[in-house]
A = this chain, B = another copy of it.
Amino acid sequence: MSNRTRILRLSRYKNAALRLKSLNFLKVFSDNLADATGVTASQVRKDFSIFGIEGNRRGGYQIDELLTQLNKVLGKDKLQKFIIVGIGNLGRALINYQGFVKSEIKILAGFDIDPAKFNRKADALILPMEELPGFVKTNEVELAILTVPEFAAQEAFEKLRNAGIKGILNFAPIRLKSDDKVIVHNLNLETEFENLIYFVNTHTVPQD
């Protein structure tokens, strides 16, 4: 009882709660979160109930308490260290992205095979692939982002697997052959574009 869409919704609730907190709200109700995220109020409550997150009848949810619990469920109560393989346009953008700094996500280093991209400065460390296994071990990294071209994806994936990486966010447009040692989450930008195109062309409104 823990599918992907439900977890995605928990993330959204957390973001909505954070925004309300920044507006000095102290408590929040299921229908506030529902409005902010575009689901029904009972969906919110059901999701919470499945993860044992409780509020007070009539009193709603204390935002601070709620955030603590959501972060705990989502594993954001501790720093999550990533590396990134493939420093093209997208890889570079992610490494420079400032949106994660306030959250518990940190991209420690990038890796590439192109010496022209290497960079030993601490703020945007880019290292040769050969150093990947050592780096992963020393820094106890479990998570990786894969932003290499399609033809290089499977090989890069094997290297990450062998280095002991446990989870990969894969932007390469290919389904990686994996056993269940490594969890791969695929995110294909072209597919997302196509999805939007479909709904615009058919004038139908998807329920997000």
Known: A89-B96, A191-B12, A198-B75. A37 touches B175 (CB 8 A): yes
Among A11, A174, A207, chain B packs the most CB atoms within 10 A around the CB of A11
Q: Are B186 and A208 neighbours in the complex by a CB distance under 8 Å? A: yes
CB < 8 Å: which of B16, B166, B191 contacts A8?
B191
Cβ of A193: which chain B residues have Cβ within 8 Å of it? 80, 82, 100, 105, 169
- In the docked arrangement, what's the CA distance between A99 and B202, Å? 25
**Across-interface contacts of A89 in B (CB, < 8 A):** 92-94, 96-98
What residues of chain A have their CB less than 8 Å away from a CB belonging to chain B?
Answer: 2-4, 7-8, 11-12, 14-16, 19, 36-38, 73-76, 80, 82, 89-90, 92-94, 96-100, 103, 105, 142-143, 166-169, 173-175, 180, 183-202, 204-208
Q: Which of these, B37, B98, B103, B202, contacts A2 with CB under 8 Å? A: B202
Q: Which residues of B contact A197 (CB under 8 A)?
A: 74-76, 80, 105, 143, 167
* Chain B residues in 8 Å Cβ range of A168: 196
Given A8-B195, A15-B190, A99-B190, 18 more pairs with CB closer than 8 A? A3-B206, A3-B207, A4-B195, A7-B206, A11-B188, A11-B190, A75-B194, A75-B198, A75-B201, A89-B92, A89-B93, A90-B97, A103-B190, A105-B193, A167-B199, A183-B205, A185-B195, A185-B199
